[in-house]
A and B are shown apart, each in its own frame.
Chain A
């Protein structure tokens, strides 16, 4: 009886402390294929440095910090986009992004881009991609996904790592909606000179891509 009752009592406390956060009303759990490879790469590094471009999620910090042993930089670019949108200063976003990352060149082993590039116009996307390529270490990995269907009412979303094969998607309110669809060719050009190491088209029409910074590139 005690065991049965204790199931009800523990849930909320647990989600604050390392375990994936409890599901919200609009949450959906979606499979991921590239995340596992990204994590495998981070695990292969002695003291991996991770740059997370999404809104801060406590359980993700615990996952990557405690289980993978990463040092994590949280740079919420979605909040920056949101702020520029609200203030009507989107034309200034590319210039802002060029000075946004304080990390030295080649200092980051992994970048969690999530679906950031779905929400950027072309000049902003170019500026962000250049900077991410700059801060990424040689052989470093960048994990991102890109919607392959027409832009629609897709709001900004928090991505919560459930495990290395599943992500919980949690939409949150924002005036910014998804921008144009990027074709495969556009994506690879955007991130040059990074190389596509793995690419998966998921059933929900999202393309997951893992980029790597090639050996021949010294930190630029």
Chain B
């Protein structure tokens, strides 16, 4: 059987299965819908995407945007305008879900996702980067050949027993390579001493803002955490090989995909990583080989769905581009010229897999936001409640976790107290003032006049005692403006 030429062997090993891709399509649509719903919950839509929020369009375009940033969401600064755009994105995701005009829906959905992400770059994390990349590579894949309206009534071209239709080669390879890059480059970036001495996972779990019950419970077993540290490294290194070794008729790839799923489920239960496990999970589904679905012997012939040769060359070129981009993020001498980077920043192929790397030691703590009213009274400006002295004392990991109402707020405020958050502070302060003062008349004694934002930083993230040393840091103070 292995007497076939190399190209045929690689095709068999790497071309993606149409059923896996169809499930991936459904998963992708559900993740996008979930993401939209999560972003729109509560006050978040107003807070993050309108001119009344923490990042008005003028602040974004003046201070946070890189030149290539583009976003349809800048079309309007009102909640009504954003509602429309969210609704359009949701409709497109629904079309993707049912596989109606799949390719057009994929392209349009991808554009809407890029646009949404560009509207507020301050609340993005790794999952968003991976999501937009999967979406982009999915444009080139036949997502709608199974389980879709598009394929409805079409004759099943699975063919006879000994023939199998699969996705075209280059898009398949590129898609899998993108996922391999995530694991490979995050492995290569984990150069801090904590990853060498095995304490990394302890530090990561010590970041109580991102705590989850299982993860916090695991902190009692340092020896196990050492083991997990090395286990994570091993899996991250192994995944690229499992995905691409062309032997064993897909069994290695199945193991690779399941390993990805397992490690992501592990992350999902121990750390607050938002929709990362879901995004990686659907990627793993797409990688499941044909042999996973039918336990029959290898088909005699495989045929690829149609794909123009010119597009293959284009996708291959982009693969090289993304590989170079990732290599350049390692900072080992390879640098891309600015011109060339423009393409990546315009299509949002830019990526940087630095989760918990080089070192997992991230400052942890909680915010206290004191608002002073016209009549001298104090309020908890963050939660919009009367101030309580107990806010100053360590509330346990649960309290740290609960200080953020949603994942997006966690991302927004995580770096707020560091130098990286410098540019955000005035707009955030204005947002707090505006939110409290909305509907209050000018000389209302309860008007908020000034706010002070403190970060209560834990000195040692491994310390779990209630009386552990805390440093009180004044991050920002400002007067509330006329509006």
Partners in one complex: no
- B interface vs A, CB < 8 Å? none
- A interface vs B, CB < 8 Å? none
